[in-house]
Amino acid sequence: MKKVEAPTLEEAYQQASQMLGCSVSELQSEVIQHPSKGFLGLLKKSAIIVATCQKTASSHTKNELKKEASPLPTAEENVASEIIAAVKEEQATHIEPEIEKDAIVDSFFEADHYSDDLETFEEETVVYDELALMIEDQLKELLSHSCFDIDVVEVDVRDNTALIFIDGEDAALLIGKEGYRYNALSYMLFNWLHAKYELFIKLEIAEFLTTQQEMIRNYIKPVIEHVEKQGKGKTRFLDGILVQIALEQLRERFPDKYVAVKTAREGKKFVVINEFNNNKSHA
């Protein structure tokens, strides 16, 4: 019996076969630990198996029949076919019989085939929480050097997005007239967090973002009605974050249409909705 650790299950099977002097298909193995890529380079796990060699007459007979029926394969083909066969066998051992829906719900946290997914989810949650605290501390340090009275800075990281909430006595000043300071801060935070942690951002300052989302939702109602009747349409010129909000809401409303931001000659931006993609696919 040999215990083998390798980056992947395939490599672990191959190493075990070499150590035991038999083919991969003749291994009798047990997976002690499934490999995991981790998150952001953290919590990475190798594959660990315990294997023994169990040669059988039937496997020997099958190999002899294969040799008589077909030309001799190369060494590379042997290794590849053995690895594929072992992986398929490993996958087959994890197939559960059909059971009732209620039984699945009752045994969700006890079933072995859910344990790895649950463990990975918990690991990613821990990494996200640690990253959120780190960003939160750095953002507090940044704002402490500003002239604004800001006493609430909260950061939550979920699904590759940093959700940032800022509030305080000078929150309105941090937003600025027509949101120009909000746009500048959003741009700065995005460039920092996306370059360093590959994160997108959603910035909320004293419910400013919520207010803007509701305002755009009301504004695009006639635009949506026009598109539903005519098949296409566009918004008026929009500034800063309003363009992105309108883009997100219109893409959600028309998932099968072409929805994109366009720039006019004078540099002003607007959102268009049409059948460009559909026409292109049928061309």
pLDDT digits (tens, 9 = 90+) for 40-97: 555 677 888 888 887 644 455 455 545 544 455 555 555 555 555 655 565 555 444 4
- Do 9 and 44 lie in one domain? The reply is yes
Name the pairing type of β-strands 2-6 and 47-53: antiparallel
Q: How many domains does the chain have?
A: 3
Position 109 in a domain? no
Domain boundary among 95, 118, 148: 95
Q: How do strand 200-205 and strand 258-263 relate by DSSP bridges? A: unpaired
- Average pLDDT value for residue range 4-19: 84
Find out whether 169 and 151 touch, Cβ atoms under 8 Å.
Answer: yes
pLDDT at 137: 92
Residue 170 counted as domain residue? yes
What is the spatial distance between Cα 23 and Cα 82, in angstroms, rounded to a whole number? 7
DSSP sequence for 123-183: HHHHHHHHHHHHHHHHHHHHHHTSSS---EEEEEEETTEEEEEEESTTHHHHH-GGGHHHH
- For 62, the domain range is 2-95
Encoded tokens for 160:
């590759």
Show the DSSP H helices in the chain as ranges.
Answer: 9-20, 57-69, 75-93, 101-106, 112-144, 171-175, 180-197, 208-219, 221-230, 241-253, 276-282
The structure's pTM equals: 0.42
Instruction: Judge whether 199 lies within some domain.
Output: yes
Between β-strands 161-167 and 152-158, what pairing exists: parallel, antiparallel or unpaired? Answer: antiparallel
Q: Could you read off the pLDDT of 217-268 as tens digits, one per residue?
A: 898 899 999 999 988 999 988 877 788 888 888 999 999 899 998 988 888 8
Statement to judge: residues 6 and 74 lie in one domain: yes
Whether 13 maps to a domain, the answer reads: yes
228 and 190 fall within a common domain: no
Q: What would the two tokens of residue 94 be?
A: 């994890």
Condensed to tens digits (0 to 9), the pLDDT of residues 27-36 reads 788 877 777 7
User: Is residue 112 in some structural domain?
Assistant: no
Is residue 120 in some structural domain? Answer: no
Q: Is residue 124 in a domain?
A: no
